[in-house]
Amino acid sequence: MTDIAAGPVRLTHGRVLHIALPIVLSNATVPILGLVDTGVVGQLGQAAPIGAVGLGAVILTAVYWVFGFLRMGMTGLAAQARGAGDGAEIAALLARGLMIAAAGGAVLIAGQALVFAGAFALAPASDEVEGLARGYMGIRIWSAPAAIAIYAVTGWLIAQQRTRAVLVIQVAMNGLNIGLDLLFVPGFGWGVEGVATATLIAEGSGLALGLWFCRDALGMPAFRDWPRVLDRARLVHLARVNGDILIRSLLLQMVFLSFLFLAAGFGDVRLAANQVLLQFLYVTAYALDGFAFAAEALVGQAMGARARADLRRAALLTGIWGLGSGVALALAFAVGGGALIDLLTTAQPVRDAARDFLPWMVAVPIIGALAWMLDGVFIGATRTADMRNMMILSALVYAVAAAVLVPAFGNHGLWAAFVISFVARGATLAMRYPALERRAAG
């Protein structure tokens, strides 16, 4: 059993890697599941099931993503409680997160008809694909409480610097999902419903495993201390932190969506080329997230302990690893990017276009590293109002850059505006960092 209110741990490069590497490995399992989901329905020999699973998964992922603030908010608050040595608050935070997940999941289940209708109004499909997708989503929606609760559990475990447990949960959940995919679809012939049922069972099992890892907190009296769990001041603070993160995340998503929508105006080939290059961005995110999560945990603990020197060292060490990883990825993309493009598409026009714009994606891991790492620092410190406000400024900078550069330079201008958005995020957060340190000392 682990002491969830354990004292501070010496900040070293080894400690950063201890936290970060399991997250990097955990993230690496995510695309594998998507490949298997697509592969098993692809064996049915029809296009509609592939489209239905893809569309249904995207819709539900987007709906559940609205509750992604639970992961980030939980990490910052629980890490600070750990730094302050407040084991009771750590347990109470987990109870609050699970309550939000249960309520949010229940609302989605009860309102699934409205959710599905709204989704297909925004993303219309053929009658056959929509019918299959509705069947898929009608099964998977019942795992909404578990899927949302996993955000809270994951954030809580990261705050306790137990990222190996996060890796075990992710590998076990995705491994079970893959095994059940193979059993239910090729084995039992359940088709699209088999893929949905596999995910339903896997997400429920993933939550059960996550709660087992959290058993120390579940057994504490504070977990069931309802006056503390439902304390109005703490709930208001939780809502404020999560609300700021939600606004910031929505604005970030708007930047990405506008990038895709504007790219569509340059024709199918360039749109496809941009989509191929965005896979490089996802690889970058999977790698840098590990070090950003380490920053969340270590900065949060330092902030809770009011240890300004530890906060600065945590930001420095995680930043070094984040930037180093960005440089390594940029070199890998520069050397092997062409080969990776060829693996992702066989269409020669798309290959040629992607190579034309590849230098922009080579620049992103280095230029964007500061933004990724400072996101982790500010989440850990729960300076979420700063994150929200700086994201508003960054989105405005991106909008102005796109308005000026896209008409003048086409798709190159769009990529330039996209890269400028990373610069703006990093620079604006860096401007607010001194205030964050002052708060730690106060």
Mapped onto helix, strand or coil, the DSSP state of residue 55 is helix
Angle at CA of residue 325, ends 320 and 329, nearest 5°: 150
Check residue 392 and give its pLDDT.
96
Closest CA to 70 of 238, 251, 283: 238
Residues 6+ apart with CB under 8 A from 61: none
Model's pTM, two decimal places? 0.90
Residues 6+ apart with CB under 8 A from 169: 150, 153, 154, 206, 209, 210, 213
Amino acid at 384: T
Check residue 439 and give its pLDDT.
83
Amino acid at 312: R
* pLDDT tens digit sequence for 266-292: 887 888 888 788 888 888 988 899 999
Cα separation, 18 vs 56, whole angstroms: 36
Tokens 């893809």, residue?
A: 54
Is residue 428 within 8 Å of residue 386, measured between CB atoms?
no
Is residue 119 within 8 Å of residue 66, measured between CB atoms?
no
* pLDDT tens digit sequence for 240-253: 999 999 999 889 88
The residue count for the chain: 442
Cα separation, 46 vs 48, whole angstroms: 6
Is residue 95 within 8 Å of residue 224, measured between CB atoms?
yes
Check residue 262 and give its pLDDT.
86
Is residue 229 within 8 Å of residue 96, measured between CB atoms?
yes
Q: Kindly give the parts of the chain with pLDDT less than 70.
A: 1-9, 34-35, 45, 47, 123, 441-442
Check residue 1 and give its pLDDT.
43
Check residue 432 and give its pLDDT.
94
Closest CA to 241 of 389, 72, 442: 72
Check residue 168 and give its pLDDT.
96
Cα separation, 288 vs 375, whole angstroms: 11
Check residue 56 and give its pLDDT.
83
Identify the H or E element spanning 203.
Answer: helix 191-213
390 is written with which tokens? 């700086």
Amino acid at 144: A
